[in-house]
Amino acid sequence: MDKKIAQLLASEEKRQKETITLIPSENYASASVGRLVGSVLGNKYSEGYANRRYYQGNKYIDSIEQLAITRAKSLFGVPHANVQPYSGSPANSAVLMALLEPCGSAQGKVNTIVGMNLSSGGHLTHGHPDITFSGKFFKSVQFGIEEQYKKLQSDSVGSETHDPLRGGLIDYDMVSGIVEANSAKLIIIGSTAYPLILNWQKFAEIADSYGCYLVADISHVAGLIAAGVYPSPVKYAHVMTTTTHKTLRGPRGAMIMVTAKGLVKDPEMGSKIDRAVFPGLQGGPHDNTTAAIAQCLAEAETPAFRKYGKQVVENARVLAEELVSGSLKLVGNGTESHLILVDLQKVSGNVAAEALEIAGITVNRNSVPGDKSPFYPSGIRLGTPAVTTRGMGKREMKQIAGWILEVLEIIKDERLPEESKKRSDFIKSFVRRASVNKRLLTIAKEVRTLCKRYPVP
Ligand SMILES: *Cc1c(COP(=O)(O)O)cnc(C)c1O
C-alpha cells in the first residue's frame, strides 16, 4: 500500500480503538461486511436490475442483489425493496423524484412536501429550505418542536403533566394543520436527533386524511426496528427509506422499501421507485456494497442482534439517567431510542465537542429545538450503537457519563463570543488551551484503558 495512505489508515485505526465513539450514526461493521466492501465485487458494472442488466457477466451479481432484496423484504416485512441507493440522501431524493412533480415540471404544479426541521431532529433531505435538493426542487413546508420544547422548559423539570416520555414533543394537530393548509402531497418523517419514539400511527392518520404519501425515514433506527425495540412504521407508511450503516451495522449504503400499504395506494410504486434510482438518479450499483448489505441483513436476523438492539436502548437509557442526575438538560428529558440530545444552554456545542474529543470521547455538536445556527449550536448529540457493539454495558455507561459530566464542569465558564467573526478564533484558542489541560488528558488516558478492555470488531 502507498506509504502515506497506509500511515493515515493506521492512525485512524488507532483513533477508533483508543477513543469512545458516541456519535449515534456511527457503528462498527463486522469483519465480513468489511471484507465484502473491499472485495472483487467492486470491480463489476451492473447498470439495471437483476435479469435486466446493460452489461454482461452479471450471473452472480444478480443472485447477490436478489439475496439482499429477499432478506430486506423478510426482515422488514415489505413486498418491495431496492438496495441500490448509494446512501441515505440519494435514497430520499429518489423517493421524491419517483412520487412528486418537481418545480418547473411539464406536468404542472410543483408538489409540496412536509417534514420536520433540522433543529427539531429532522434530516436535511426532509425539505430543508434553500440549500438542499428536497428544499429547492420541491415546495417544502417544515414543522418543528420549538414551541412544545419551550413550554416544557417553563414547567418544572420532570413534572407529571409534561412528561414527554408519554407522547413525545410533536404537536400532531399542528402538523395536520400544515399539511392541510399547504395541500401537501408527501410527508417525510424520520429522526436524526429526536430521541423519543415517533408516533407513526398519528402521522399515518394525517397522511391518510389528506391523501398524502407517508415516507418513514428509519435511517437511524433500522437496527432497533429489526431487533424489535423500536416501533416499525411498516403498517403505517407507504415507503420506508433507510441507511444501512447506522444501527443496522452494515456498509455505507441505503435501501428503499415499499410497504403493502404503499402498493395498495399505487400498485406501480415499486417500479416508479426503481426507475427513479436507476436511470433517474444513479448509474451502476455498488455491487460490493450490495453484498455487504445482504451480509448485514443476515446478521440482523440473529438472536445476537436482537440482544444487541436491546442493549443499545438500555445503555442509552442508563447514560441519559446518569446525565440527568448530573443536572444536565436533555431534550425530551431522556431517551426512548439509542440517542440523547443534550441542551448545554450557556455552553457552546462546539466547545463541548472539542473538549470531549481531547478527553477521548467523540461526539458531535448538534442543534437543539429553536437553535438558529447549525454551525454554532447549543447542544451535543450522543448515542450508544458503537459502544454497545464493543460490548460495553451499564457499568461502562455510568463511567462514561461521569467523564462527560467532569469535562462539562471543566468548561462551564467558557462563553462563545456573540460576534460571529470572533467565534472561530475563540474556538481555536480554546482548543490550544484545552489540549494541555491536565485533567482532560488524564481522562483521555483513562478512556484508553477502558477501550483496551472492549476491542473494536
Ligand atoms: C443519516 C441519515 C440520512 C442520510 O444518510 P447519508 O448516508 O448520510 O446520505 C437521511 N436521513 C436520516 C434520517 C438520517 O439519519
Q: Which atom of ligand 1 is nearest to the CA of 218?
A: 13
Q: Which residues form the catalytic set?
A: 45, 47, 217, 243, 246, 252
- Closest protein CA for atom 14 of ligand 1: 219
Rounded CA separation 15/21 (Å): 10
Residues, the chain, total? 457
- Report, as an integer, the average pLDDT of 2-22: 98
* Domains in the chain: boundaries: 41-300, 305-453
pLDDT at 159: 45
Confidence check: pLDDT of 417 > 90:
yes
Rounded CA separation 42/402 (Å): 44
Banded pLDDT at 373 (limits 50, 70, 90): confident
What is the bridge-based pairing of β-strands 239-243 and 213-217?
Answer: parallel
| 3-class secondary-structure state, position 185 | coil
pLDDT at 386: 98
Banded pLDDT at 162 (limits 50, 70, 90): very low
What is the bridge-based pairing of β-strands 112-116 and 139-143?
Answer: parallel
Helix (H) or strand (E) holding 112: strand 112-116
CA 94 remoteness from chain centre? 18
The β-bridge partners of 82 are 256
- Closest protein CA for atom 12 of ligand 1: 219
Residue ranges around ligand 1 (CB below 6 Å): 25, 87-89, 92, 123, 125, 190, 192, 217, 219-220, 243
Rounded CA separation 340/359 (Å): 19
- Closest protein CA for atom 4 of ligand 1: 88
Widest Cα–Cα separation across the chain: 67
pLDDT tens for 384-395 read 999 999 999 999
Give me ligand 1 centre to Cα 8, in Å.
26
Whether 305-453 and 41-300 are alike in CATH topology: the answer is no
- Beta carbons of 389 and 314 less than 8 angstroms apart: no
In the CATH scheme, what is the code of domain 305-453? 3.90.1150.10
Classify burial at 399, counting beta carbons within 10 Å of its beta carbon; exposed 0-12, middle 13-18, buried 19 or more: middle
Assigned architecture for domain 41-300:
3-Layer(aba) Sandwich (3.40)
Site to substitute for ligand 1 among 192, 224, 230, 281, most atoms within 8 A of C-beta = 192
Rounded CA separation 330/11 (Å): 34
Q: Which atom of ligand 1 is nearest to the CA of 88?
A: 5
pLDDT above 90 covers a percentage of the chain that reads 92
- Closest protein CA for atom 10 of ligand 1: 88
Rounded CA separation 166/441 (Å): 41
The pTM of the full predicted model, rounded to 2 decimals, is 0.96
Crossing angle between the packed helical segments 394-410 and 438-453, to the nearest 10 degrees: 170
Give me ligand 1 centre to Cα 121, in Å.
12
Give me ligand 1 centre to Cα 155, in Å.
33
pLDDT at 91: 98
> DSSP alpha helices (H): ranges in 100-199?
133-136, 146-154, 172-181
Going by C-alpha positions, the residue among 42, 174, 61 that lies closest to residue 117 is: 174
pLDDT tens for 204-261 read 999 999 999 999 999 999 999 999 999 999 999 999 999 999 999 999 999 999 999 9
Place of cell 426532509: 126
Site to substitute for ligand 1 among 118, 125, 126, 240, most atoms within 8 A of C-beta = 125
Give me ligand 1 centre to Cα 251, in Å.
13
- Report, as an integer, the average pLDDT of 59-77: 98
> DSSP alpha helices (H): ranges in 191-325?
200-209, 222-226, 260-265, 269-275, 287-300, 303-325
Banded pLDDT at 153 (limits 50, 70, 90): confident
Going by C-alpha positions, the residue among 338, 386, 343, 28 that lies closest to residue 192 is: 338
Q: Is the dihedral of CA 358, 359, 360, 362 positive or negative?
A: negative
pLDDT at 155: 57
Backbone angles phi and psi of 113, in degrees to 5: -115, 150
Confidence check: pLDDT of 143 > 80:
yes
Rounded CA separation 314/120 (Å): 23
Tell me the one-letter amino acid at 316.
A
Give me ligand 1 centre to Cα 183, in Å.
26
Taking the CB of residue 333, how many other CB atoms lie within 10 A of it?
A: 19
